[in-house]
Structure 1
Amino acid sequence: MSKQFASAGDLTEKKISFTEIGRDLWAFTAEGDPNSGVIIGDDSVMIIEAQATPRLASKVIEKVREVTDKPISHLVLTHYHAVRVLGASAYNAPTIIMSDAARGMVEERGEEDWASEFGRFPRLFQGHESIPGLTYPTTTFSERMTVYLGKRRVDLMHLGRAHTAGDIVAWVPDEEVMFTGDIVEYHSACYCGDGHFNDWGDTLDMIRSFDPRAIAPGRGDALIGHDMVEAAIASTRDFVESTYRPVARVVARGGSLKEAWDAVRAECDPKFKDFAIYEHCLPFNVARAYDEARGIDTPRIWTAERDREMWAKLQG
């Protein structure tokens, strides 16, 4: 490679925020690093997203223990990516939940994804030596599952493909709050390397139809109030469409991946270059958009070798 991936040299620690977004509902955020969510029920706690390593998960647990001593009974993983799931062992949660599709992706591409993500963004794998192996769920579902934490109801739903084919959201109806995983971001680039551009907007519409009063997004600040929620959904939609649209035009005229890269930079840089992890995501986003525009519906598996080959083409 002529230069490192954008995040390989990012070693700066991020400031953690722990924000209450509804009654006994919390968003753990860290300036564009992966977020986690906390749902406190009558007798136990549900965590949304595990973080990348047990060491990083311990930071979430520390914040949880500042607000409750109830046991952690459920860990919900919105999709299969290593930065979201490999810290699961720290929680000792008896129930780990994913969608059926996400579990299948762990089987199909979990090892490759782990190696790929570690190479791209080493800071997010602090304490990686303590990861016991791939994270598998104890429980899966296809479209919808309801969990009761005492009287508190949590609806887990697959609303459509977006960031991955197996994304799920968690909806807490008593407070009208949603935990969206990486389907919605706020002042952070969307990672689309395993995404479905043509489905993403419809899935955002499904989230919007719930009219959430607050959202814990995948990355970026907690979204509190309808105005902030609407702005984040609109920005996420704009990011996804602004990435795919120029690539589709390049593919339609038989252009190259490098030409697609240049076209996306021309359209997205003016609007999004200051977003967290923008440079990190861009090459993978363009490569996936190029594939989808050529009719490749299932995202190809990223490996450390494929990462390097793709980056060399874009630097060439």
Structure 2
Amino acid sequence: MAEYPYPEPVVRITDARELARDLVVIPNQGVQLVPNIGIIGGTHSVLVVETGLGPRNAETVLKFAADYAGDRKLYLTTTHFHPEHAFGAQAFTEFATYLINRAQATDLATKGTAYLDMFAGLGEPVARQLEGVKLATPDVVYDNSYDLDLGGRVVQLRATGRAHSKGDQVITIPDAEVMFTGDLVEAGQFAIFPWFPPHDTDVSGIRWITVMEQLSATAPQVVVPGHGDIGDPQLLADVRNYLQLLRDETWIRRDSAMSKETIIEEVTALMIERHPEWTGREWLEPGISCLCAEHAVDI
């Protein structure tokens, strides 16, 4: 990963806004390595989605959530194990029940330390936020699906299977028709492919397309991406269409025995031509490399 050249990755609650009754989002305000964070309430409990990068960001989120919850019970969940989403969970240990899917818990236990070291090496702004991180152990682990009753509101937690990571999950609030996707979906940027061979090759472009087709079929009215502006169902379609195009253009060239270097060069240029306004161009090469590796492989 390249060194982090962006503003300090700090969660700021000043622009927190209500999406629906008793459902608040703290937006990432376009800052890299800051996720969109959710606070979802029911009559007796409140669920927090994502922690922010490291314990200090998580303490900011916890204070906001605790003030919002009042005397209601707190739960925490994270969409996947990557540092800006889950590496602040320790701040919630004495105050909330940490609930995630089993594949994510395995990712956290087996890869967490390596990702901590990798992200800390991105530069001082990131390393500063990761000081003192202790990887938390979840209190409750589920296999494929979990319905969390917050009191008058049930939140659906669903493991999607391997895509952006092995442990992705989405969080849906049916009565509000809102879905939190984590990094399965980004708004206004190219999909993040954590393709880091030989250290981590769990991302799957093929499975990711399948997951996006499944999510699109559920047709939530509001989509909260991992990063970027909150959107509608078109955001799911945009990501699906992009991933399909990336796969098709990569595989057409792979079938012609074109060199990987030329494939990367040509497909990168094409994607930028199609989406010149999108950020995250550094993720094009890993995405193309991942799909090259998946070419003609049974996933």
Distance 1:180 1:248 in 2: 27
Match of 1:218 in 2: 226
Q: What is the deviation of 1:124?
A: 4.3
Give yes or no for contact 2:53–2:83 (8 Å, CA) kept in 1: yes
Equivalent of residue 285 in structure 1, options 284, 287, 290: 287
Match of 1:313 in 2: none
Give the SS at the match of 1:169: strand
Give the SS at the match of 1:117: helix
Q: For structure 1, which runs of at least 5 residues remain unmatched after alignment?
A: 224-228, 298-316
Match of 2:177 in 1: 176
RMSD (CA atoms): 2.6
Counterpart check, 1:149 vs 2:145 = no
One-letter amino acid of the structure 2 residue matched with residue 176 of structure 1 = E
Counterpart check, 1:252 vs 2:260 = no
Equivalent of residue 202 in structure 1, options 202, 206, 210: 210
TM-score w.r.t. length of structure 2: 0.84
Q: For structure 2, which runs of at least 5 residues remain unmatched after alignment?
A: 195-201
Distance 2:140 2:68 in 1: 27
Match of 2:238 in 1: 235
Question: CA offsets per residue over residues 128-169 of structure 1, 9 Å max, x none?
Answer: 11212x233222222111111123211111234322222111
Match of 1:226 in 2: none
Q: Where in structure 2 are the equivalents of 1:120-159 lying within 5 Å?
A: 120=122, 123-132=125-134, 134-159=135-160
Q: What is the deviation of 1:218?
A: 0.8
Q: What is the deviation of 1:87?
A: 0.8
Match of 2:49 in 1: 48
Q: Identity across aligned pairs (percent)?
A: 23
One-letter amino acid of the structure 2 residue matched with residue 51 of structure 1 = G
Question: CA offsets per residue over residues 94-121 of structure 1, 9 Å max, x none?
Answer: 4212211112222332222222233347
Q: What is the deviation of 1:290?
A: 2.4
Equivalent of residue 22 in structure 1, options 20, 23, 26: 20
Distance 1:164 1:269 in 2: 24
Q: What is the deviation of 1:269?
A: 0.8
Higher relative contact order (CA 8 A, sep 6+): 1
Equivalent of residue 272 in structure 2, options 247, 269, 272: 269
Match of 1:303 in 2: none
Deviates more, 1:211-220 or 1:243-252: 243-252
Give the SS at the match of 1:137: coil
